[in-house]
Structure 1
């Protein structure tokens, strides 16, 4: 009998909630650090959002997927990753609601974010390709899982080149917010880059510990209540571990770091596909993809659909739509709510 099996249901839910708070409040501080490091390193908000902020806010989710896979919960590990992508994309629409000057996708014009969205769609098709083929593994890992990090790193290199020598540039309007370095407050200015990165790493560790607790308690609650792993992964652990993205995105919007906000979501989503590689390596019973069900793949298709809608919004750049947000933001929220309803209905049916 494991230690968690001796806990009461109230204790499990309390542990889950406390871990969620650790993840949430760690994410609050990390936004300002990512914005400062973006300016100091010259990476720019879009790339910093994709690499620093995306990786940091996704770290707890990575731990959830790895822990779930190690414990043999393939569906939980998979749906946590893909469900997080869908949730985070919907969070960008919520952030659009908080930016009242114009449609967020219009104001945060940045070619790097458009390219990253294309890469995300490509990465999301790989699990579907793997599932459509006969199960083949190398040391219990599907070969396509090894391709995901290769595509990820290649995309980062291409994004950097895109920033340095863009072949396309968005039209600048009075609503367009340029990515310009901001003046640091005196306390931050006195800190070296090494100290800032150390603080960044410490916050990531805290978020990772929070993710481990979330995975363990969620798996135990799932077993006790005989809940669907896919439902818990996509709508419980994924949403909770994605809360830092919601907080950091809104915080970035309020700081005026619009490219960081969009880049943090899109880059975080790309980083989330690495969960699949980590989970497949951790899952020792064969291919992770072939151990999942149709309910898990439903979220893969939903994530692709939502990313396509977001990409369209980034290209179209509607200045203002209903409620001063873009039509794509309304569509993203609608798709996500309908997806939740369909998943809940199918799981209970």
Structure 2
């Protein structure tokens, strides 16, 4: 798509900026929708916000796979997860009330941490085990999808009937619905979906620009 270096660098920078701006708007809209749907911030975050904000990664990984660049596809996914954890550390610096992980302690987040550990081990198993494929698909691939869906089921069940509770302190922030949100829910949903589309398109442009830079 981008044949020379300078247009690729410009497109990369613009797409990255669009993702940052759209991501901040998505976070605000997700906060409103989490309260209005009754899902709560943690559950809404994993069910919808995480999926939407991962659209750039999905578009980039899919584009790299279609373009026969398996190393780029794999490194994009693994690198994205590593950087996201770094972002959590950066966010902790700016959250001045308490330790961010301590303030967000909840059964749902504890279950999500366990799910993340399980999902991270599966691709590693595919890498170190003998090459076995059926229709050019590794057996671990459907296991990853099944584990994710089953994990979401456990997360939802944990929110409804927690099997354990973190010890609450004065620094723990409870997920309580805010009462100051204005505007109709349909408007917020349209805004959320619109930002999701913009984010996904920007992710595709980002990967195409990365190919030109590489």
TM-score, normalised to structure 1, is 0.59
* Aligned-pair CA distance for 1:148: 1.1
**What's the C-alpha RMSD, in Å, of the aligned pairs?**
1.3
1:21 and 2:17 matched: yes
For 2:2 and 2:166, the matched residues in 1 are separated by: 53
Matched with 1:91 is 87
1:163 and 2:173 matched: no
Please give the residue correspondences for 1:69-84 in structure 2 after superposition, counting only pairs within 5 Å. 69-84=65-80
1:124 and 2:116 matched: no
Q: Which runs of 4+ in 1 moved over 3 A?
A: none
For 1:203 and 1:112, the matched residues in 2 are separated by: 26
Matched with 1:218 is 210
1:200 and 2:192 matched: yes
For 2:198 and 2:28, the matched residues in 1 are separated by: 17
Secondary structure at 2:54 match in 1? helix
* Aligned-pair CA distance for 1:139: 2.1
For 1:37 and 1:220, the matched residues in 2 are separated by: 38
Q: Which has the higher contact order (CA 8 A, sep 6+)?
A: 2
**Contact map agreement 1:36 1:184 (CA 8 A) in 2:** no
Matched with 2:47 is 51
For 1:118 and 1:111, the matched residues in 2 are separated by: 11
Matched with 1:4 is 2
TM-score, normalised to structure 2, is 0.95
* Aligned-pair CA distance for 1:4: 2.3
Gaps spanning 5+ residues in structure 2: where?
none
More helix per residue: 1
Gaps spanning 5+ residues in structure 1: where?
223-349
* Aligned-pair CA distance for 1:129: 1.1
**Contact map agreement 2:32 2:181 (CA 8 A) in 1:** no
